[in-house]
Amino acid sequence: MAKESPVQVPDKIQDKQSLADSPVFLEINNVTKIFGSAVAVQDFKLQVRKGEFVSFLGSSGCGKTTTLRMIAGFELPTSGTVMLDGEDITYQSPNQRNVGMVFQSYALFPNMTVGQNIGFGLQVRKISKTEIKQKVDEMLSLIHLEQHIDKYPYQLSGGQQQRVALARALAIQPRVLLLDEPLSALDAKIRVELRLEIRRIQQQTGITTVYVTHDQEEALSLADRIVVMSQGHVEQVGTPSEIYNHPTTEFVASFIGQLNLLPVENVDLKNGACTLGGQMVRFDHSEPRPVGETPRLAIRPEEFQFGQAEGHNVLKGRVENVMFLGAVVRLRINVRGALLSADLFNERAMSLPRVGDVVMVNFPAHACWLM
């Protein structure tokens, strides 16, 4: 486990404030990438501020890695431009861009020690041996692996190797740090540890970072902003809270976290009311949202509570399944044909309902919306 950082991590609110004031540093303008007849990325637009941590989130094949590779220079866009610090780098070769890259497979050079790996980029730049040594020591202290300087990659664990890869990418003081699913090959515990480590190092160095992942928890916990992608295009860009609490498309709503989509009738959009299995439900209608041909009520499972509550919507249904998950109990409730998932926080004194029981759950109107 890494030691605690000696450097003070800036307050998240202050951090956001300073980010908003930062100039745009990386610009991806209408980038499209076509492989043969397949469109991998379509009309991708994004502005990243200096020091910002942006995460590309999406399932396999959504174009997130291709976009990252176009920033790195490993793929050329079919159309569009990539601007870095005001410079058009669209057609610049990867070794001229000064962009640090961390790979899922670590990609450490097996023939070099940890120290040589970290110093490789500096050696290529023909920096003096003394300076290289200084920088390597600095980087090793940043990742807390000082004692491993002379080891070969195969002598390190996966987590240690990825930290070395991060240090190697940072040693050249890149303009942007790109991480391509860097934690995917690691086990769950190490993943969480390294996630914190990456965020600490990013905040400590203040480097502009683009992080590709298919793991929503990773994206939500790490990024200042998330770009949710699907089938080559951007679905939504926003802070983790915006993405989770205010998804603008059905894809984002169902991709991030769990979401109930329940068929409703008698929709009154003006007053924010409808019926679900004959029971009246009020929903959030403060923002105009597009509603599909068959309107459905969207609500996250964690919004439900047992019993009735003053001013809340109440639904009555039969329990079809009870799953005890430790901190959470997940119920499947049949509300006159509509199956909903409800996550209830576990309490020691709580008596769990049984399959077949008729239960009542409540939720506030502002917790649900129509799609």
Point out which residues bind another protein (CB under 8 A): 72-74, 93-101, 103, 105, 107-111, 120-121, 124-125, 152-155, 165, 168-169, 172, 174, 178
Closer of 136 and 259 to another protein (Cβ): 136
Contacts of residue 45, defined as CB under 8 A and 6 or more positions apart, other chains included, come to: 28, 29, 30, 31, 234
Q: Helices in 105-175 by DSSP H: which ranges?
A: 114-124, 129-142, 158-171
Could you tell me the smallest distance in angstroms from the CB atom of residue 121 to another protein?
3
Q: Is there a contact between 318 and 301 (Cβ–Cβ < 8 Å)? A: no
Q: How many CB atoms lie within 10 A of CB 162?
A: 28
DSSP per position, 235-258: EEEE-HHHHHHS-SSHHHHHHSS-
Question: In the complex, what is the shortest distance from the CB of residue 79 to another protein, in angstroms, rounded to a whole number?
Answer: 23
Cβ nearer to another protein, comparing 105 with 266? 105
C-alpha span between 197 and 204 (Å, rounded): 10
Minimum distance, C-beta of residue 181 to another protein, in the bound complex (Å)? 12
Sheet architecture: strand order including 273-276: 265-268, 273-276, 279-282
Cβ-based neighbours of 90, under 8 Å, separated by 6 or more: 76, 77, 80, 81, 82
When the beta carbons of 121 and 277 are compared against another protein, the nearer one is: 121
Q: Which is nearer to another protein, 59 or 173 (CB)?
A: 173
Question: 54 or 165: whose CB is closer to another protein?
Answer: 165
Least gap, CB of 193 to another protein (angstroms):
23
Q: How far is the CB of 311 from another protein (least distance, A)?
A: 56
